[in-house]
Amino acid sequence: MINLTRKVILQTKWKKIYLALKTLLYVSFLLTALFVVYQILFPEISLDYSFSNVNSLKNTLFSARTTSQNPAKNGTVGGNDTLSFDANPLGNFEDAKLNFVLNKNSAIPKKISVKVRKSYSAFFYPQTTPLGFANGSLLSVNGVYYIISNGKTRQFVSGSALDQLGYSRSAFLRISPTDLKYNPPGENILNADSYPDDTLIVIGNQYYQFKNQQLIPFVSERAFLSRYQPTQAIPKNEDFLKDKTVSENFVGFADGTLASSDQSVFILSKGNSYPIADSATFVAMGFDWNNVLSLTPAEINAYKRQKQFTINQPHPDGTLFYDKNEDKYFFIDSGFKYPIENKLIASTYTKVSPVLINTESLEQNISCSPTKAPLTFRTFTCQLSLNSIDSLLGNDYQFETSFGNDVKLASVNVVFYTKLNQTNVLSSLSIIKNRLQNNYVKN
């Protein structure tokens, strides 16, 4: 080390003071370094929600709602209500501490009961009826041919009509009779007078979807391939367009497609593009870097850019979840979770690998009963061990709380943390290594 004061001779008194201050400085640097390392290896995150200012950007707990109010208003929770909210801490944690602070005008709760589940927030959506094959699917059952048009199964009664319209029989997916039950029956196709809705056409390298007597162009060939196989499109020449109306709208990539452009990664859904906040969010949401498509400026500009997609948002419409242990698929759309009964049906919605989930996360939970914190009048608290649900896939902890009588809350706080031990040190080091190896845009 360079010493610029080696020729300076201090009096004994000042020399002691200098050495003491020097030692204090070194100790301060050491303690600061140890604190930073501790925070990295044993992270602690405090998340809050204030009922007096529900729109505050400082609220880091999300979707506070009750059985009767969504969102929850003014912190009022009825005795027969359940208060729910979501926490999305970034990282792996072993324990959590939950704190409820009552409004000064609130009654004291009779008994607080808390249940916590872990998965992805979109997977907690209510489940509805099973989903059938996607529009445009060409299906074959024991030599009988069908097309899925406007969600319905339409049978080609005449083999000659099938051939005259130009469909290739090799393009039809062979399925079992039971697979057809997930799409309601539609009108039979008796002749070759007109193409049914959702017929796919290709002219040169331009693909179209026939809908409402119009041809809707795909934004690109790759957009078509994100949904369909090339053989599903009927080849035509330019003369086919002479008496057809070409729509000003377009068909984009399959909803839920991951795409990159200009050093950013996006989720594409229903005409919108959502830039993903960072690589940590990408990984936490269960996405696969191998699914990211590099788009041209024309392709990405066909979408309306939205605000950043963060860890606190649910997966967008078009996301496909899969539980490999149970061999079950689920499709997200408009706030509902649609089960898909087999891989054949799932493949008609997207060609990329799905986000992995655990269906057991819907039933598995941990619980606690908050009690009044020592030396406080309005704070109720409890500890939660996350070990039994920590291994479940997902980044969202969903809290459900009942109070036993009418109460009014001022705020909620959840602190996630990890205890100091050798196992957690090794686990944290492994996580840090994996994050360093992740590249935001796949090369």
Average pLDDT, 10 consecutive residues per value, the chain (443 residues): 56 71 75 54 83 89 91 90 95 91 94 96 96 97 96 92 92 94 95 92 96 95 96 94 92 96 94 95 95 95 95 96 96 97 94 94 96 92 94 95 96 88 52 52 43
User: How many separate domains does the chain show?
Assistant: 4
Residues 183 and 241 in one domain: yes
Please say whether the beta carbons of 383 and 97 come within 8 A. Answer: yes
Residues 6+ apart with CB under 8 A from 369: 111, 112, 113, 114, 382
Q: HSE-up of 18 (CA within 13 Å, CB side)?
A: 9
Burial class (CB in 10 A: 0-12, 13-18, 19+), 52: exposed
Query: What is residue 68's predicted lDDT score, i.e. its pLDDT?
Result: 87
* Backbone dihedral region for residue 404 (phi beyond 0: left; psi -120 to 50: alpha; all else: beta): left
Q: What is the pLDDT of residues 128-178, one digit of tens each?
A: 999 999 999 999 999 999 999 999 999 999 888 899 999 999 999 999 999
pLDDT at 56 (0 to 100):
86
- 89, 394 contact by CB (below 8 A): no
The pTM assigned to this predicted structure is: 0.84
DSSP, collapsed to helix, strand or coil, labels residue 432 as: helix
Quick one: 326 and 373 in the same domain?
no
| E strand or H helix at 110 | none
Rounded distance, CA 220 to CA 207, Å? 8
Residue 167's identity, in one-letter code, is Y
Q: At a CB cut-off of 8 Å and minimum separation 6, what does 317 contact? A: 255, 256, 269, 270, 332, 333, 334
132 inside domain: no
Residue 314 lies in a domain: yes
Q: Is residue 129 in a domain?
A: no
Query: Could you say which of 246, 268, 285 is where a domain stops?
Result: 246
198-231: per-residue pLDDT in tens? 999 999 999 999 999 999 999 999 999 999 999 9
Mark whether 153 and 240 lie in a shared domain. yes
Q: What are the distances in angstroms from CA 338 to CA 90, 122, 350?
A: 27, 11, 14
Domain shared by 183 and 112, yes or no: no
- Angle formed at CA 263 by CA 258 and CA 267, multiple of 5 degrees: 20
Angle at 368 between CA 365 and CA 371, to 5 degrees: 165
In angstroms, rounded to a whole number, what is the distance separating the alpha carbons of residues 141 and 174?
6
Asked whether residue 251 is domain-assigned, the answer is no
Strand partners of residue 266: 259, 275
Is 211 strand, coil or helix? strand
Please, which residues have CB within 8 angstroms of residue 141's CB and are 6 or more apart in sequence? 174, 175, 176, 177, 179, 180
Range of the domain at 34: 1-41
Same-domain check for residues 219 and 168: yes
**For position 1, what pLDDT does the model report?**
47
What pLDDT is stored for residue 440 in this prediction? Answer: 44
Q: What is the CATH number of the domain that holds 297?
A: 3.30.2390.20
Q: Are residues 185 and 279 both part of a single domain?
A: no
For position 91, what pLDDT does the model report? 80
What pLDDT is recorded for position 442? 45
- The reply to whether 242 and 144 lie within a common domain is yes
Same domain, 221 and 180: yes
69 and 32, same domain (yes or no): no
Phi and psi based region of residue 413 (left: phi greater than 0; alpha: psi -120 to 50; beta: remaining): beta
Which ranges in 275-337 belong to alpha helices (H)? 279-284, 297-301
Measured distance CA(226)–CA(117) in Å, rounded: 34
